[in-house]
Every structure is written in structure tokens, then in C-alpha cells.
Structure 1
């Protein structure tokens, strides 16, 4: 009985929050890019990629319907999709100080532990400091040239792996990329002729990140307060998934 009451109160609070959030967002937001007409409360929830359909195929059709920039809204949150390379460059490169903010990914950052990665950080003093360090090491042709020999060695090893095992070409690309980063950042040389534990760890980290960071795929990203629900709360699958991902990828995300 107590659990039933808790669920009913939670659903009531959730519906109230969604109605309030939609009302506030409608007043705040200006004119949005074109997109499908949203339904009440749920918005464009049905306009996201269905199960079994690759995301890129779905959004290519979206581009054909609504143009180079489109938008969808779910439960009061708006996602703007930029389909055109030239437009993306203009918005995200030439005016990066205004547009380089990251979304608040509660699932990936707060619950799974990816917030320490530069890619996931917002435009904060810490991020700007990291960017300054990265630019000093990689931002010019002269500074980047110091790592050319590392790239040449890893590309040569990749070609050897491709000759020996041509059916694993995608795995070889991942290995070469991870090996280059590890050597450049940490001076670590991977095992050239057998699986390397750090390469495997990086692959796991990126695989899990691609699941945790899918836009609006997790309820907690839409309603951040859901992170405080108990682990056994009905429907809160993210409460069980997040600790599993954190344990698997923790050593990589905490390496700094």
C-alpha cells in the first residue's frame, strides 16, 4: 500500500512538474528552428529514432523534411539539430564563445562519472584552462609536429595488423587511435602484438559513453531531480545502469 501511494504521489508530482516546465519554457524561448508540431506534455517524443533504426538515417530524413537546422521538444526541453556542415562550422567554431556550452547530461556526467572528461565539461574556468593547455601542445602546426613520429609508428603497426587480420579493420583503427593518444598523453606504449588492457579499457569507456550520452534517452536527463529516486523505484532503470557503467569505466575517466 505504501509503495502504491508513493508511485501515485510521484506520478502526480511528475505531471505537475511537466506542465509547469512547459509553461515556463514556452515563455522563455524565442522562435525555434522548424520541426514537427509537438504534442501536449510529451512534445515530439514520437519523433525520435525508433528502436532498430540507426540514428543517422532517422535524422537524415528529418533534414529532408525541415532543412539544415531543425528542432524537437520533449517534456519542455528543446533539442536543436544542425545537419549542415557549413552552418555547424559557423555556429560552433566562429562563434564558439556563445555556442560552445555543453548540455547538462545528468546520466553521463553525474551518475556515470564522465564529468571529468574535457569533452563533457561546460564553458567554465577549468575548461578554459584545459583548452589552453591543449592548444599549447596541439594548437599549431609546429607544436603538433612533435607527435608526428608517434603517429607514423602507430599507423605502420596498424597496417601490419590489417595485413595479418584483415577482417578486424575497425578494431585496428580503434587500437591505433588509442595507442596514439596513450603515447602522446602519457608516454605509454601499448602491447603491439596482443590485446592491451588500457586499449580495452578505453574501448569500453567510449562504448558505454555512447549509450549514456544519447540525447534525451534517459528520463533523468529530462528531469534531473529523478536522480534522487531510490534504486528499486519502478521504471528507474538508470539507477541500476549508471553504477554498472561507473564501475566498468571508472579507471579510465579518473585517469585525468
Structure 2
């Protein structure tokens, strides 16, 4: 009898707590959003291009939306002011990543820099990259590497007799530049067939990472892999791991000296050295897996995003010959026609800098920010944001918000010059109207390198060559459609024929 009374009492307490929780949840004021479907929630509403679909929804429900994707609460920021609330005022609460298949099956189960949970381990990885790769000193120390790889690219263009795939060649230049800094050697030789395979692997990964995987939002269905995303990720991971494991092992062999120590001449050597040292008393030592995860981050996020942005830049400039002419006039006056652009020229190119900002505004490399997760419940603009909610910042929509930009779909660099609506805006996370690299604690670690690569590559291509589309294609008819994926690729590769426009020794000295 006593046990029955106790069981009844416990059952009553449990039911009462459930009732109170549900009642409290019902009273809480969530941001507006579309009504979810049973079980699957709003997953069908995302569409093939989520950043575009969410931008369309924001016009109906406002710049702060709440969706249910499966069993996960998702909040979307689609205006500069709302983004600032999340990434500035409440940044510490949104500094970790939610569980996702890409981090689990590709990024070595969250052991990389991009998806690692916020904490001591993440800070150690970020510090290593910041000091040895992305600091002002590191960038200056390896400037000659970028210039040498840029010269290889330029000579290839100067000798081209037929149309070239601009994005593919830009990617090779970026990979080799980063490869020499990270491990002291080029990754691909001239005409190396592996370069095309690597590019296709990166594009495939970005496409898979951009899919809203059902298993991420309905955990009970993860095993079924209904979209085949997880299976493809596992296969792709094996291909990347073979490449990265080979690079790591080869570097250990080549870098070893008689006493078994490793020469610390590049980032990878330093990382290997940290396997045998207490890099941080609290964070511990690095492992082979963490090193490969960092290499994966650098070779994907540090190369594909820059090359795709430059490809968009050249497409816009080809479509806008007056802007192209004005950029060239400035380049010719600052650089002349007897040499190529150098990184030291960039600060003196005022109009060109405005063009680059406009490219980042219209074509952010990551249109929908990498997701973050709410560590605790909070309130944003009077709405309840529950603990565990996933945050998405629609960078693409914010940069095209008519409340922030005049004629937002128009390519107009003058908006960043004196007299324009944003003369003092930058793209470094300080002005939330244009945040292509994100903002706050999880801002892109490689922003400084990415900016330099996009600037010097674009300036060199504009200054050094005239560009023809060929096949009778008119510039104004150039396909500017976007492809689906985590990064903003062009739906159709930019195929162009370069024609030299500088003195000959500028290309070959």
C-alpha cells in the first residue's frame, strides 16, 4: 500500500512538472515564423537555396524568425540590428556549434577549429593559427610566397591560347600559396590532374555541407540517412584523410633530423612539434587527428572561399565595363604598366577597395553563416530564445536589405566612397550591414589572409589582362545564378580568354 501511495505521488509530481513546463513554454513569446509541419517542421520550407528561401520568409515574418526544423528550434537573423544582438550583445551565449553531420563525419568528429566547441581547446587551436598564419607579421613574412605563386598564375594566363576555367586556376594558386606557408611546399605542380580532383572534392563537400540534413534535426532518423548525405560525407572524408595523412607522414619523415627533432620552418612543423610538448597546461598536447583537422580547415575554408569570391568579382567587372575601366585607370596611375600589382599597392587603391567591399556585399562566400547554438535561454528584442536553439545569420539577406541599402541589388561600389550610404563601413565584423566573414568570437579565423588574397588576385587580374568571354557571348548576358551549397559558388564556371595588356617584361621578368 505504501509503495502504491509513493508511486502515485511521484507520478503526480511528474505530471505536474510536465504540465508546468508545457504551460510555461506556451506562455513564452517566440519570434514569428511559418507554421511547422508535424515531425519534419519547416524543413520543406527551406527550398534548394536556403539563404534565398529564408530571405523570402523574412519579408513575411520579419528579420527575427523562429522555425522548427524537425525537433530543433531555429532562430534566423535577417537584419543588421538583429544580427548585432546575437553576435555582439549575446555573443558569449552563441559561441558554440550545434551537432551536425559535417562536423561528425568530415571534420574529424569536432576536432577541428571551425566546429570545435567553444572552450580551452578551441582557443588553443585558434591561437596557433592566428599567430603562425594570420597575424600581421605572419602575413608579411610570407608575402613573397603569395607573389611568387601569383606570378606562376599570371604566366599561365599570359600564354593561354584558349578559354580557361578561371575558378579552377585561382583555386590552384590559393592552394599552393597556402601549402607553401603551411608545409613548405606546393601541393600541385603545373597542369597537375590532382588539382582538378581536389577542386571537385571541395565543391562536393560544400554542396553536402549546405544540405539541411534530416538526421541533424530528427536524431531518431540519423541511422536511416534518408538523403544519403552521411554516406557521401564518409566516403569524401576517406579521400581527404588519405591526402592529409600522406602530407603529415611525408612531412614528419622529411622534417626529421638526426636527433629526431623537427625543424620548425613552417606551420605544419610547428604543429608536429606541439605533439611532443605541453602546448598548454590546461588544453594538453596536439594529436595527429587535430593536425589533420586543422589542415582540412585551412585547405578548404582558406582556398575555396577566396577563389570563388574572386571569380564573382571578375564576373561583375566584366558585366560592368565602366567600373572595370575606372579600376584599371586607378591601377595604371598607382602601379603603372611595367610591373604587376604588389600587396603594398593595395592601401593606395581607394576606388578598388570600394569595389572589393561591394563584391563581398553582393556575393558573401558563406551566405548563410555557420550555425551557432544557444548555451542558455535568453531574450532578443522581446522574444524568447530557448536554450539549445540553433542560430542562423542570413548574411546574404542582410547585405541586400532595402532598409539598409539604396537599390541593394545594384552593383554600385560608390556606396562605399565619400557621399555614399556607407563610406566608412568595413567587412571585418564591425559593421553588421556587411559581415561576409561573420562577427564576434567565431568570426572567420582566416579573414586577414582571405582579404589579402581576394584583393591582390582581383587587382592583378584586372590590371594585367583584358578578358573576353568568347563564343559570341555578350557580357550583359553572363550567367550570374548561384549554386546551392555552404559557400556561394557560381552555377556556371566563368570561362574566359585572357589577353595581356602590360609590357612584356611585367609578366616574365
TM-score by length of 2: 0.38
1:236 positional shift: 7.1
Give 2:105's match in structure 1, choosing from 106, 111, 129. Answer: 111
Indicate the residue corresponding to 1:188 in structure 2. Answer: 185
Q: Distance in 1 between matches of 2:213 and 2:180?
A: 35
Task: Check whether the contact 2:42–2:67 (CA below 8 A) recurs between aligned residues.
Answer: yes
Q: Distance in 2 between matches of 1:193 and 1:171?
A: 12
1:89 positional shift: 6.1
Residue 199 of structure 2 corresponds to residue 203 of structure 1: yes
1:60 positional shift: 3.1
TM-score by length of 1: 0.69
Give 2:56's match in structure 1, choosing from 61, 64, 76. Answer: 61
Matched residue count: 224
Give the RMSD, CA atoms, in angstroms. 3.5
> Deviations for 1:7-34, whole angstroms, at most 9, x for unmatched residues?
xxxxxxxxxxxxx9xx98x949964443
Q: Distance in 1 between matches of 2:73 and 2:214?
A: 14
Residues 253/55 of structure 1: CA separation in 2 closer, same or farther (3 Å cut):
farther
Residues 193/112 of structure 1: CA separation in 2 closer, same or farther (3 Å cut):
closer
| Structure with greater contact order relative to length (CA < 8 Å, sep ≥ 6) | 2
1:150 positional shift: 1.7
Query: After alignment, is 84-93 or 201-210 more displaced?
Result: 84-93
Q: Distance in 1 between matches of 2:193 and 2:146?
A: 18
> Deviations for 1:181-227, whole angstroms, at most 9, x for unmatched residues?
21111112244421263x45643442233233235x22221233544
Q: Secondary structure at the match of 1:183?
A: helix
Structure 1, unmatched stretches of 5+, are 1-19
Which structure has more helix as a fraction of its residues?
Answer: 1
> Deviations for 1:24-50, whole angstroms, at most 9, x for unmatched residues?
8x9499644432222333321231114
Q: Secondary structure at the match of 1:70?
A: strand
Q: Distance in 1 between matches of 2:58 and 2:207?
A: 23
1:251 positional shift: 2.5
Indicate the residue corresponding to 1:158 in structure 2. Answer: 153
> Deviations for 1:45-80, whole angstroms, at most 9, x for unmatched residues?
231114xxx444323323433344433212221233
Give 1:246's match in structure 2, choosing from 231, 234, 237. Answer: 237
Residues 234/109 of structure 1: CA separation in 2 closer, same or farther (3 Å cut):
closer
Q: Distance in 2 between matches of 1:195 and 1:29?
A: 62
Q: Distance in 1 between matches of 2:30 and 2:55?
A: 19
Indicate the residue corresponding to 2:354 in structure 1. Answer: none
Structure 2, unmatched stretches of 5+, are 1-17, 249-291, 293-509
Residue 42 of structure 2 corresponds to residue 44 of structure 1: yes
Residue 81 of structure 2 corresponds to residue 81 of structure 1: no
Q: Distance in 1 between matches of 2:107 and 2:226?
A: 22
Q: Secondary structure at the match of 2:144?
A: helix
Q: Distance in 1 between matches of 2:155 and 2:41?
A: 51
Residues 205/191 of structure 1: CA separation in 2 closer, same or farther (3 Å cut):
closer
> Deviations for 1:121-149, whole angstroms, at most 9, x for unmatched residues?
22132211101111212453233211222
User: Which one has a bigger Cα radius of gyration?
Assistant: 2
Q: Distance in 1 between matches of 2:133 and 2:80?
A: 23
**Superposition pairs of residues 95-244 of structure 1, within 5 angstroms:** 96-105=91-100, 107-115=101-109, 116-163=111-158, 164=160, 166-195=163-192, 197=194, 199-200=195-196, 202-214=198-210, 217-227=212-222, 229=223, 235=226, 237-238=228-229, 240-244=231-235
1:253 positional shift: 6.0
